[in-house]
Amino acid sequence: MPFHRPKAFGLNEFMVAARRWTIQDRHRLDVHAREVALMTVIWGDLTKEEQTALKRMNRGPYPSLSKALAERLVFLGLAEERPGGTGINRVGRELVIRTLLRTRSD
């Protein structure tokens, strides 16, 4: 079987591949950093209004959520903007579920 030398990348191909990897890698790092930072938010840090809003959002759409409260929950990383309005994200849902399970076991 003859030996086939792999095709060498040209400089332009290398730059495109490196740029693509960098963008994807940067996105992964941003997501990971955001998740690590958000893990520091605990239930007791939230106001009663924020706790109630998260519980309601965990059950489904919450159309009467105020714009200011929605922005605060997004800033804390517990909710995200969606086409239908602000909704709870995975981090927020995990926080609510953990809290509810802890309350149930006490």
Residue 85 to residues 15, 66, 74, Cα–Cα distance (Å): 39, 11, 12
> 2: which 2 tokens?
């003859």
- Give the residues across from 80 on adjacent strands: 87
Q: Residue 63 gets which letter from DSSP?
A: T
What per-residue confidence (pLDDT) applies to 74?
Answer: 93
What per-residue confidence (pLDDT) applies to 38?
Answer: 46
Identity of residue 71: E
Kindly report, residue by residue over 54-79, the tens digit of the pLDDT: 999 999 999 999 999 999 999 999 99
Identity of residue 68: A
> 1: which 2 tokens?
């079987």
> 49: which 2 tokens?
């209004």
Any idea where the domains of the chain sit in the sequence? 9-40, 42-106
pLDDT at 1 over 70: no
Number of Cβ within 10 Å of residue 26's Cβ equals: 10
